[in-house]
Every structure is written in structure tokens, then in C-alpha cells.
Amino acid sequence: MSRPRATLARMAKTARVRAESLLERHVEPSTIPLSAAAGSHTTSVDAYWGRHTVNSIPFRSAGESLRYLTWRSAQYPLFERLMELNADHSQDVVLDYGCGPGNDLVGFAVRGRARRVIGMDVSMPALLLARSRIALHGLASSRVELIQVSDDEPGIPLETGSVDYLYCEGVLHHTTHPDGILAELARVMRDDARGHVMVYNRHSLWFNLYTAYVCQIVQGAFPGLSVDDAFQRNTDGEDCPIARAYRPEDFATLCRAAGFRVSYLGGYFAEQELALFHTTLPAALADSRLPVEQQEILRGLTLDADGYPRYEGSYAGVGAVFRVEKEAQP
């Protein structure tokens, strides 16, 4: 049962006050524009991510901020390669939809030299953290814009054809209207614009080995739940309102319906997935309690030349990455 809207609104306000209190000791006043889209009420998704901001401690220097990006990439093998994070964006207006506390906004602006970056998120605490972090790097306010959106409304407050590059990492699998958001993302991109989108991978070690075997069978967690429901509860917190894992072909179909050409690049890994693959896979395959679907996927894994597991020729990590391009309109 969802919480009353008034309660959710109070929770979101409390989260913003907490973030503002945290930030005021570390950050000089910022001129970077930050606005909120009008006309939406606070949903359970909005409130949850207002309370659970990833990496919620403000950085104290630009160097610390950049070192964190390097550290984060090391925790997720193949992340930088599949998301193509080292590209030159010097001619691009970049939209980071679901920017969180600004990890990749900083990457695009500083390392990718983006002409302009636009960060959108449902969480005001995350956007305040992003603004403080961007200020550390001395970026001109004309190059950055931050906008709070709502899970209640898939509309994106940008002009049609105004974006050159789309980045959406770890967001759409948490939303109520992923199809509507994809259609809006396609609308705001110029013809032949490109981008990368990541959603959770149902063909991953995290879904089929960690969730279905380690959590549900070995640990006895989430009794009576399907693997999908257990995945929702063990990936981003037990109270996370929405956390889907997509079959790659199903998400690609959503992208095409929205007006994108799409290529599936594979799933990048969490370090924990790879550790479990090397220590736990034989026991999982020998356990008759493991559901048939998970048995078939785990038995179908192969290794590439670097030792990374693949399923049906694609990397079997939790972060399913899709390269998208806007279809040109006649």
C-alpha cells in the first residue's frame, strides 16, 4: 500500500532540509541554475530516492571528486568500456537523466569537456550534492543546469531536438513510466543524436546466482517470493518501491517503440558478482532447488578471453548497457 501523498511530501521536504544542512558547512554559494518541474505530486519513488541518495557525503576538493570517479569505475568491471565514458563531448549538449549526486555530470563536464551538461533527478538532496560538487570544479554556470523532475510525470522540460547526447545510468528500472520517459528522451534529442542507457539485467549473475541462489536458497531470505520480487528487495534496499530486471531483448523493444535505434552492448559487473561466479557457481548448479530458468542461464555461461562470463554472447553483469540513437524523422 502506498503512503498518503502528504506523508511523502513531508518525507521529501525532510530529506532536502537534511541535505542542505549537510552541505552548508562545505560549499560556497553556487550560481548554478537549479529548478523544479511544476505540476507533479510526490510519489513513493520520489520520496524513496530523496531519502537514499547514493554517495551522500560532499566532496571537499576537485581532486577528491575525480579520484572517486576512478575508484567507482574499478568497482564495476567493464563499466567505463561499455558506457563509453572516455569519449569527447566538446561539441555536445549532454543530458544526464537521473544524474544523482553528479558523478557523471562531473565526468562529462571535466573529462569529456562537454559544451553544456543538464542533470535531472527526482531527488533534491542529490541535486544539491551535484551542485556542490560541480562548484568544486569551477564550472561556469552557463555550462550547467540542474532540474528536479518527478516519477509522477514522464514529461521532460526541454525543447524538442535540444540534446546531442543522452546518458541514463541505473534509472529507468526504478520508474513508474519507463516507456513514457523513453519517448520523451527521444523527443528532446536531435535527429541522429546518440547515447547510452543502463538498466538491470535479468540475464546477470546478480539476478540468477546471487539473488536466486545465495539469497533465497543459501540464506533463506525472502521466503515465498519470486526471484523478481526478491531481486527488487535485495538490490537497492528492501523498501525500494520499484527495481526491475529486464531481459535485454525486452528493453530493446521498449527503446525501439520510443523511436530509437538500439544496440545491446552487454552487462557490466559488480565485483561481488565475479567473486560469486568463481566461488559459488558449482554449488548452485548442483542444487536441485535452483529454479529451472536460473539453472539454464547459469549453465549457458561462457568465458571471454579475459575470463569475463557471457550469456548468449553478451557480458552477464547486472548493468545492461544499450547504445541508442535517435531515429531521424522524415
H or E element at residue 207: none
Asked if 209 contacts 218 with a C-beta cutoff of 8 angstroms, the reply is no
The span from the CA of 121 to the CA of 3, in Å, is 21
- What is the chain's alpha carbon radius of gyration, rounded to the nearest angstrom? 20
pLDDT of residue 53: 82
pLDDT in tens, 280-317: 999 999 999 999 999 999 999 999 999 999 999 999 99
CATH level 3 topology of 5-153: Rossmann fold (3.40.50)
pLDDT on residue 42 = 86
**Confidence grade of residue 21 (pLDDT, cut at 50, 70, 90):** very low
pLDDT in tens, 76-97: 999 999 999 999 999 999 999 9
259, 160 Cβ separation under 8 angstroms = no
Q: Compute the Cα dihedral for 242, 243, 247, 251 and give only its sign.
A: positive
CA angle 112, 135, 62 (to 5 degrees): 65
What single-letter DSSP state applies at residue 142?
A: G
Predicted pLDDT at 330: 66
Tell the burial category of 302 from Cβ atoms under 10 Å away from its Cβ (0-12, 13-18, 19+).
Answer: exposed
Q: Is the torsion defined by CA of 52, 55, 61, 62 positive or negative?
A: negative
How many Cα atoms within 13 Å fall on the side-chain side of residue 86?
7
Read off the pLDDT of residues 200-222 as tens digits, 9 standing for 90 and up: 999 999 999 999 999 999 999 99
CB 105 within 8 A of CB 118: no
What is the pLDDT at residue 238?
A: 93
Q: Are the beta carbons of 148 and 124 closer than 8 angstroms? A: yes
CATH 3.40.50 in the chain is located at 5-153
Average pLDDT over residues 16-20: 43
pLDDT at position 3 is 32
pTM for the structure as a whole:
0.90
**Alpha-helical regions (H) of the chain:** 5-23, 44-51, 62-75, 79-83, 103-106, 124-136, 178-188, 205, 227-235, 248-258, 271-286, 292-299
DSSP letter at 214 equals I
